[in-house]
Amino acid sequence: MGAQILIPISMFLMIFGIIYLFFSTRNRERMALIEKGVDASIFFKGVGKRGSAWKVFVVNFAFLLIGTGVGIFLALLITTYTSLEDDAVYPSIIFIMAGVGLLTGFKTAKDLDKEE
């Protein structure tokens, strides 16, 4: 019964800790740069270039779904024509192909950014 309440509390503390570390580290880094006399315009570099974020998301998501589908199909073929167990083949092939799909999506999104 006590573990049921610890899980949401620990999740909240973990998320709070990550956000706190992110902002405190960013603040310390900016303060160190300001003390050295660096121009403050470097903090806003790339803020205006956010027009193609949805394209990158759509491309990555599409390649993730394609990779997952191909992974399921390959796992089906492997389990049908070999004596390997389903418990190990399906998750491993699905994750491998989803990773290949995300890598391909990343490279494609990088090419899209070069074109713009």
Residue 74: count other Cβ atoms within 10 Å of its Cβ: 16
Predicted confidence (pLDDT) per residue in 6-41, tens digit: 888 999 999 999 999 999 998 898 888 888 887 767
What is the SS3 assignment for 11?
helix
Distance CA 110, CA 50 (A): 14
* Predicted confidence (pLDDT) at residue 62 exceeds the cutoff of 80: yes
Entry pTM = 0.56
Predicted confidence (pLDDT) per residue in 64-82, tens digit: 999 999 999 999 999 999 9
User: By the 8 A CB rule, do 68 and 102 touch?
Assistant: no
Closest CA to 60 of 96, 109, 111: 109
Domain ranges within the chain, ordered by starting residue: 1-45, 46-116
What is the SS3 assignment for 67?
helix
